[in-house]
A and B are shown apart, each in its own frame.
Chain A
């Protein structure tokens, strides 16, 4: 029983990391109907920006919450900038082209970031400085919980709530939803659609940047290709929850994290990555809108 609970806790903490990445994915899709495959690589950049900032400011010498916030802020701002540039240079010129062109471009941007990363940072794994530590550990007998991972779970949920508020309660959110509904119509109503799209990208990328720093802190081995698998898993999580749906992304990510953990824990460790993609195929076959997706009526 205790083993089961420990697996459950492990699954939740792994899922909350997927959730953190999936949030940005799903939001960009929800607004722009674009699967931004470069999202996982922006997450990688976030981890590296966090690492270089921590090194430059010697944050690891005095681990503190302030240090973590500085690294987070640097990564979020840096990634927002990267997101802005990606959208401006790679996606905006293709706004009027068929969606498939955008998708292929996204794959191209993703590969570009991965291999430029190898060139600039070097391909060997780097150690992420331990800039924040919680000495107290949560344990109930054998049951051990890493407090950092609880923190990540709460951060994911808080970000989810904030995103919901931004999208559904603010003027910018209304503009985002209007743009999502129809670019042309929205611009006729006086909404600066280009700026709205830029803003959406920057918001999504900064979420990925935050995820990069938090994951670097928990799994302190970072490398330029680290974004590939988590990026794809987060995509699966987003589809599982209904892509475009913020709550769905978090729920989908937690389901994915839990099912992976139980699969590995109870005997089939080799099928870990296969599971995510099997889930993706099943969900596309039987419930293409995901668990929380609305059944859209197709109008031609």
Chain B
């Protein structure tokens, strides 16, 4: 019987081993876009092709691929074709850092596109900056990302703005005063957005009745929701990613919390509607673009994307497309394709008409763009309003 007493202790050690193994596993999926051999320009992409936010990486990859194909079909850049080297980070910041190091040091790419999630972009940016390779994140909204250095750019609005969009929408359109916050404490994006929402909402005269958190990967949120319920909010702000939001919506309704949820662009995925089902109906989130936008540029992009991938692009697909287009435009404008010339050309991007709005980068390398608010209704994301900065 001696062994049986010691075994649980050994088990503890094994647990530690198990956790550390699971987190340092390595997997590389290498995908290259079709491009003829010969003189090529190598561009790297890091994205979450697998993992719990897989649709983010896949949509972005689709958008970039579509843009590259169009550019190459039109003759490429300066007579050279663009070639994409795409690496999967499984949705883990440490993998994103490894991937960008490989792209920069081994593949010698001249620019990097990615990531969607701010946590991962924040892991990549210092490396791109260190090796002085221009990096454009299509859709990381946390302000810290571009503060890393002068080689880091983004194509989307930032969270201080996105937070006020929902704060404004809550006070002016929904006319509500009491909101609870449920944030993902492990996620830079979610924590930042929650803070900016809180600031904006309180400034507009609203009250945050409860501010609590969960960790990505949790499956039970009932304890937080029960506490929130006792504070009687009129809406809950959940600036997380779609996988958890779907489960939160379900459990909120189970507890009889019949108030709308509100969130940010991290909700944008077809999986949200699948996991959330009818329970997510009537909720609102801010996003980069709406597929209902009637402008010819947007509709042309949607029909091309649909023809190639058989699905309506979400905002991440559109942002990936825009990032690739801006990069190609900068290549064309740069006098030579050195890293500093490319960097300066991207920084000078002005009045570039893109799918998700007109892009002019400011001195902080962030664009000033408007946001849309979408409502989940009848299994679709319905356009509500546009909020200008």
Chain A partners chain B: yes
Cβ–Cβ contact A272 & B215, under 8 A:
yes
Chain A residues with CB below 8 A from B142, complex form: none
Mark B residues whose CB is within 8 Å of A: 1-5, 7-12, 14-15, 17-19, 21-22, 25, 27, 50-52, 54-55, 90, 185, 212-215, 217-220, 222-224, 226-227, 229-230, 243, 246-247, 250, 254-256, 271, 274-275, 277
Chain A residues with CB below 8 A from B21, complex form: 107, 111
Minimum Cβ distance to chain A for residue B81 (Å): 31
Chain B residues with CB below 8 A from A262, complex form: 223
Q: Answer yes or no: A206 CB below 8 A from chain B CBs.
A: no
Chain A residues with CB below 8 A from B277, complex form: 130
A260 to B222, CA, bound (A): 11
A29 to B214, CA, bound (A): 33
Secondary structure dominating the interface of B:
helix
The 8 Å CB contact of B218, one of A110, A122, A272, is A272
Q: Answer yes or no: A184 CB below 8 A from chain B CBs.
A: no
Cβ–Cβ contact B7 & A123, under 8 A:
no
Minimum Cβ distance to chain B for residue A100 (Å): 7
Cβ–Cβ contact B217 & A261, under 8 A:
no
The 8 Å CB contact of A261, one of B1, B15, B90, B222, is B222
Cβ–Cβ contact A127 & B14, under 8 A:
no
A281 to B18, CA, bound (A): 17
Minimum Cβ distance to chain A for residue B246 (Å): 7
Cβ–Cβ contact A265 & B226, under 8 A:
yes
Cβ–Cβ contact A107 & B247, under 8 A:
no
Chain A residues with CB below 8 A from B22, complex form: 111, 114, 225, 228
Cβ–Cβ contact A221 & B246, under 8 A:
yes
Secondary structure dominating the interface of A:
helix
Chain B residues with CB below 8 A from A244, complex form: 4
Known contacts being A124-B50, A124-B51, is A243 close to B18, with CB within 8 Å?
no
Cβ–Cβ contact A270 & B227, under 8 A:
no
Q: What are 8 contact pairs spanning A and B, CB under 8 A?
A: A3-B227, A6-B255, A111-B21, A124-B52, A223-B52, A265-B227, A269-B223, A284-B8
A13 to B221, CA, bound (A): 12
The 8 Å CB contact of A124, one of B54, B215, B229, B250, is B54
Cβ–Cβ contact B8 & A243, under 8 A:
yes
User: What size tier do the contact residues of chain A reach?
Assistant: 35 or more
Cβ–Cβ contact A122 & B50, under 8 A:
yes
Minimum Cβ distance to chain B for residue A105 (Å): 11
The 8 Å CB contact of B271, one of A37, A118, A125, A243, is A125
Cβ–Cβ contact B55 & A124, under 8 A:
yes
Chain B residues with CB below 8 A from A7, complex form: 223, 226
Q: Answer yes or no: A280 CB below 8 A from chain B CBs.
A: yes
Chain B residues with CB below 8 A from A269, complex form: 185, 212-215, 223-224
A298 to B2, CA, bound (A): 5
Minimum Cβ distance to chain A for residue B230 (Å): 5
Minimum Cβ distance to chain A for residue B124 (Å): 20
Cβ–Cβ contact B51 & A123, under 8 A:
yes
Q: Answer yes or no: A142 CB below 8 A from chain B CBs.
A: yes
Cβ–Cβ contact B11 & A235, under 8 A:
yes
Cβ–Cβ contact B212 & A289, under 8 A:
no
Minimum Cβ distance to chain B for residue A269 (Å): 5
Q: Answer yes or no: A61 CB below 8 A from chain B CBs.
A: no
Chain B residues with CB below 8 A from A107, complex form: 14, 17-18, 21
Cβ–Cβ contact B5 & A125, under 8 A:
no
Chain A residues with CB below 8 A from B18, complex form: 37, 107, 110-111, 228, 232
Chain B residues with CB below 8 A from A300, complex form: 2
Chain A residues with CB below 8 A from B230, complex form: 2-3
The 8 Å CB contact of A123, one of B50, B213, B217, B255, is B50
